[in-house]
A and B are shown apart, each in its own frame.
Chain A
Amino acid sequence: MIEFKDVHVSYEASAPILKGVNFAIRDGEFVAFVGTNGAGKSTTMRLMNGLLKPDAGQVLIDGVSTAELRTSELARRVGFLFQNPDRQICCTTVREELLFGFRALGQAGAEADARVDAIIEEFGFDPDDDPFLLNRGARQLLALASIVVLAPPVVVLDEPTTGLDYRECEKVMAIIRRIHEQGATVIMVCHDMEVVADYATRCIVMSDGRVVDDAPTFEVLRNRDTLERASLVPPQIVDLSLELGRAIPRLADAPVGSANTVDEMLAAVVEEARGAQDEERSVSA
């Protein structure tokens, strides 16, 4: 369980970043933080692994304040993927990079070696590659792998798909979904609303250093007030569904008016169009 209680943070006295943030995330949830640049999302993430401590209020991990936990203790509980993998990668080979976390935690040994071997196989890495010579997508995957290999109960991801192409994005998100299905709590900042819609089950919306909405993902993404207040752009199919419901009022309560995915919208439109054709036929008969 991660709890934020009236958390305040400022980097510069004149510009407070968090202005009283409150929420609680239960074990095993998949939560997306969304909002405009500068809303305080990345700062919120950095508070979860103790890179930052609040100026006022409390951040609690399993009931213990991060102010009382040592960084190494926090690192065991919370894995953190930085927005830019180059801020994370520090070793000269892929294998060393994957072992780095175990060494930092004093857990190097046969079990660590075996887990690193397994992850090298799973991700398809060459263990002798120089991480800094890999392309952006591969460096992001390596940074993610170096978190996954430690199997922390909570994984915090700051924009895990930024700068990745479509295939790399799918690959990264498939791995994140798998670790969630295996029981990890996943918390991510993400600007790609299609990714948020596809993976997160709960959305916390931030604006100007505060939480302005906190609800199941599609409740948030279909809430016009929230979208406007936090300058969010809904995923395309949700947007289309809302627009069609407004343009043709009878569709607002039909499946078209509640479709969230391409498959749902396709089925809804096919049903609606074929229903109309059947009606036409029976009238003309």
Chain B
Amino acid sequence: MIEISNFSFQYREGATPVVQGIDLAIPDGAFVGITGAAGSGKSTLTYALNGIIPHCYPGDFYGSVVVDGLDTCDVALTDVSRLVGSVCQDVDSQFVTSVVEDEMLYGLENFGVPRDEIEGRLEQALDDMGIADLRDRTITSLSGGQKQKVAIASILALNPRVLVLDEPTAELDPASSRSVFDLLARYAREHGATVVVVEQKIALLSQYADMLVIVDEGRIRFADAPAKVLEHSGELERIGVNCPRSTTLMNRLRAEGLYQGPSVRNVREAREALEEVLA
């Protein structure tokens, strides 16, 4: 369980709080998507979940962030790290070695994973991400998308209870983006883990997330099931969030009086709704 209560944060060098009055409860095993315009405070929220705030970025912290019973202000960053696996927006800043295998081993060895478990975990994570063939490659020879997969694999190998990923598919092709989301959903299901993903790709978030959180100017504007949030397509567009095009189409057909059902989240739901309209 993650409980964020009346959380506000202002970076030391900032003139105003970046996030304000955030209240959010995320149950165990939930898949949560966070989106919003650039600068809305999404990344700051992820820093609060993985303890980077307040442990690395100084500033004014109000309220509380409790992950699995640990108040992130009261425990050391190492304790939060054992619970929360993070993938940064800029994966280059996350790498500490020069070869994929070494990168995977770095976390496993530093977390004290027993020697006889390491090979199995490493292979499993590489296979899950579909990058077993990259094991001996130097990181500098990888494409942006391949690096993103390596960064995710090196965190998955640590089996965290909570996964926090900041734009994990920004440089991935659409098929790889879907397979990463498939994998995250499977990981959440099989490990009872909580997954929190910040993304600009709202179509993906809408399809996979149980809860869609829209952040605008440091505050939570919506936090609900995706279909409920997508009903507000006009307001979302005003705050710089673009709905999936299948959602936009069906919302416009509703305005034309040709569709009365709930907002759709993806092409499959749009097709099912249109089959009825056009039958």
Q: Which residues of A contact B (CB under 8 A)?
A: 11-12, 15, 35-38, 42, 83-84, 135-137, 159, 162-168, 191, 193-194, 231-233, 235-237, 239-240, 243-244, 247-248, 251, 256, 262, 265-266, 269-270, 272-273, 276
Contact = CB atoms under 8 A, between A and B. Distances in A.
A262 B175 contact: no
Nearest to B147: A37
A15 B137 contact: yes
B60 to A, nearest CB: 21
A119 B143 CA distance: 32
B175 A36 contact: yes
Nearest to A274: B258
9 contacts: A11-B141, A37-B143, A137-B38, A166-B242, A233-B174, A237-B249, A251-B278, A262-B245, A269-B249
Contacts of A236: 203, 244-246, 266-267, 270
Size bracket of the B interface: 35 or more
A231 B173 contact: yes
A265 B173 contact: no
A273 B275 contact: no
Given A37-B146, A166-B200, A191 B174 contact: yes
Given A237-B245, A237-B246, A256-B278, A166 B37 contact: yes
A136 B38 contact: yes
Contacts of B244: 236
A38 B278 contact: no
Given A167-B37, A232-B174, A232-B175, A240 B137 contact: no
Q: Is the interface of A mostly helix, strand, loop or mixed?
A: helix
B79 to A, nearest CB: 31
A191 B277 CA distance: 32
Contacts of A35: 173
A162 B147 CA distance: 15
Contacts of A165: 36-38, 200, 240-241
Contacts of A231: 173, 175-176
Contacts of B279: 248
Contacts of A193: 174
Nearest to A41: B143
Interface in B222-269: 240-242, 244-246, 248-249, 252-253, 256, 258, 266-268
B145 interface: yes
